[in-house]
Structure 1
């Protein structure tokens, strides 16, 4: 079910081939807070019972800045899969990219997660670090 005031958009060009593989998979009973974005180019999986606070940003693509002579927008954009495990909670204003979040992870507000997180962990900060594991 998609509730009121939801906007789903996919950037498509007239000559773009349709992809047969799933790029973004969203499980059952997932709550995505207002003003959140999921930007999938490669593969993003959000498992069952995941909760996002408002303003969460999830992407599987990032900018490269290896060549100091080339503007960032003209460099390659590396893609790595993102998985957010069942029962996880992603706090307000968090960013998730290039990572595998195991079962029941908790990200405190404002966290920037760029590495894998173990089961039942609490991560905070930018870059996020695990401060507790149950």
Structure 2
């Protein structure tokens, strides 16, 4: 019974959100669903393509500092609960990406060079554009900060990605390192020697 009631509530909320808030976005695709977001800042800079599904309590932030930011989420992408996307420049999530719960993606960080000024009061610094390649999978609690993740790559749970990860790789750790790569000749994932 609980699941049935939850489905009805979610369906109602999706309809409510689409009717009253979808026009705030730069683009809001067909069959896209945003379930009870915690916060959306700068919707006019956010592109949600077709069949995007964003679970509840997500925080999407596109903040204009010196130029218009671009936060684009590709068709068929699924974003889990409590996701936090923070964009001041460019975050491009390509199509069919799978993100587990509590994923953090950012192209910026707070300044910390002035030790006599509280960090929260220092300037925001761009750290690099973010691209999440088509078909990639980000595990629970993954952080991506100013890096690119290749298509069909997997980032293990609790990893922190600060450097680019190539296509068809599995990366893990803090900082994340490639541990496996797909071998197309053998049609298998192979360990990467250090």
TM bin, normalised by shorter chain, reads: 0.7 to 0.9
Q: CA deviation at 1:20?
A: 8.2
Q: In structure 1, how many angstroms separate the alpha carbons of the residues matched to 2:34 and 2:132?
A: 25
Q: Residue 93 in 1 paired to residue 141 in 2?
A: yes
Alignment partner of 1:3 is 2:33? yes
CA drift at 1:40: 1.2
Q: Per residue, is there more strand in 1 or in 2?
A: 2
- 2:72 and 2:112 map into 1 onto residues whose CA distance is 29
Displacement of 1:22 after TM fit? 5.2
1:33 aligned to 2:80? yes
TM-score normalised per structure 2? 0.60
CA distance in 2, matches of 1:133, 1:4: 33
Q: Which has the higher contact order (CA 8 A, sep 6+)?
A: 1
Q: 2:133, 2:149 within 8 Å by CA — same for their partners in 1?
A: yes
**Structure whose CA Rg is larger:** 2
The answer to whether the aligner puts 1:56 opposite 2:86 as a matched pair is: no
Deviation at 1:101, TM superposition (A): 1.0
- Aligned pair count reads 130
Match of 1:127 in 2: 175
- TM-score normalised according to structure 1 size: 0.84
Which of 114, 117, 127 is the aligned partner of 1:70? 117
Alignment gaps of 5+ in structure 1? none
Who is 1:83 aligned against? 131
